[in-house]
Amino acid sequence: MGSKIPIKWPKEVTAAFVEQLIRAEKDVQKAVLIFDAATTEYSKGFRHDRSTFGLIISRLLSANNFKLAEEMLVRMKDESCKITEDIFLSIYRAYGRVHKPLEVMRVFQTMKEYDCEPTQKSYITVFSVLVDENRLKTAFRFYRYMRGEGIPPCVASLNILIKALCKNSGTMDSAFHIFREMPKHGFTPDSYTYGTLINGLCRLGKTSEAKELLMEMEANGCSPTVVTYTCLIRGFCQSNNLDEAMGLLEDMRSKGIEPNVFTYSSLMDGLCKGGRSSEAMELLEIMIHEHEVPNMITYSTLIHGLCGESKIGEALEVFDRMKLQGCKPDAGLYWKVINGFCGNNKFHEAANYLDEMILSGISPNRVTWSLHVKIHNAVVRGLCAVNDPKRAFQLYLSMRTRAISVEAKSFETLVNHFCKKGDVHKVARIVEEMLTDGCIPGEQTWAVVVGGFWDRRKVREAADSVQADLTCKHMDLGT
């Protein structure tokens, strides 16, 4: 690292003191400097042990500094510091958190090099990461390898196996077979087992079977969780059985199971898609009253539903509430609001929100490019429709400055509008830029252009326009 941290070291340095310093330092790079300084200052009197190594590795993993974390693992080995399984478990979970299952497998294969024998915990953790990341073929091979290594099945490993089998419709029967066989081998299915199967059935649209399994679960003395109910509610919403979904909300409340933000968001999504956005708004008020904070999905769902029912005023209330909470709308949400205004012929309001979006620094990227093009072009054409050519032209110039594509229909709308206004200079500019963009005007557009110039007795300019058309056609023909 090279730098030094100004620390007043005591005469005797203990592991507890070093841990205290590392925990207190928020900057992970400075924490590493402290870690190194402990042995530099007291090369003879202090050696890092399992606790200090474990802490610095944990800090590095939290900061996604995997390279340095693994270097610390090598250093532990070089310094003859015993490496325990819990350090490896933390590495597996950290790599799993950033969706790197192959790195988990790689580190697992090195355990024995560090004189650390994997137990059932390591096998189950690796198996779980592979399933969560949908590496199902690798997961099934690993499960067979695990059994071959003499790792006995347990409720946790069987739950993960059932979860893997529930991911595909073709293997659901196998998942239920294992589930039904569990008691015969001394294993009692728990809430996670039932929840996994219920979720699998709901994804396949088998909501009635899922609800029956919920009743069986309770009959067997196994309490459903908020996750179980949320899966069921989402399933019934996707099947457009909204009354059943609302009934489940009341059912879970009656049992003292409090719905969370995901429960409410799933139900709101179903209500909005079913044209019942007013009920979704009522749920939002209940949710806030119960101190459950809405998230981006909650707000997006409501705005989408309200705009779809042309309730633009209510959508704006939700939009403003969202911003006040500190949630930053993305291009997709602005599009919903702007499109809602356009659908109600409120193009000035649409332009105002487009300006707000731009001023908020929401600029197009590779993913949102087509959405930005769609928003801008819709507003340009709308402003022309409500006879505001000045603002339409300003937006058009802004689009060209920011390299946002102008659609052929927008070019034609602007040309038609300015021809009617007799502004031949703007027409000439727009046509020229249209041709520069490789967008060849159609016959109707040319007829409007020529007609506009003739009306203004600009015969030469009309002739120039016709000549430009002929030149483009010759270029297209390769002559």
Dig out the tokens for 60 from the structure: 């590095």
Query: Which residue, 385, 461, 471, is CA-closest to 422?
Result: 461
Residue 468: the pLDDT is 58
What are the tens digits of pLDDT across the range 446-476? 666 666 555 555 445 544 565 555 455 555 5
- Give the whole-angstrom CA distance, residue 462 versus residue 414: 18
Low-confidence ranges of the chain (pLDDT < 50): 1-2, 458-459, 462-463, 470, 477, 479
Name the 3-class secondary structure at 82: coil
pTM comes to 0.75
Residue 1: the pLDDT is 45
Quick check: 88 and 107 in contact, CB under 8 A? Answer: yes
Residue 461: the pLDDT is 52
What are the tens digits of pLDDT across the range 110-143? 999 999 999 999 999 999 999 999 999 999 999 9
Dig out the tokens for 345 from the structure: 């012929």
Residue 129: the pLDDT is 97
Residue 318: the pLDDT is 92
Name the 3-class secondary structure at 11: coil
Residue 465: the pLDDT is 60
Dig out the tokens for 182 from the structure: 């569990």
Under 8 Å CB-to-CB from 313, ≥6 apart: which residues?
none
Side chain identity at residue 80, one-letter code: S
Whole-angstrom Cα Rg for the chain: 32
Residue 177: the pLDDT is 95
Residue 402: the pLDDT is 87
- Give the whole-angstrom CA distance, residue 93 versus residue 363: 35
Under 8 Å CB-to-CB from 476, ≥6 apart: which residues?
440
Residue 448: the pLDDT is 64
Residue 47: the pLDDT is 87
Residue 333: the pLDDT is 87
Under 8 Å CB-to-CB from 224, ≥6 apart: which residues?
191, 194, 195, 214, 217, 218, 252, 255, 257
Query: Which residue, 7, 14, 11, is CA-closest to 33?
Result: 7
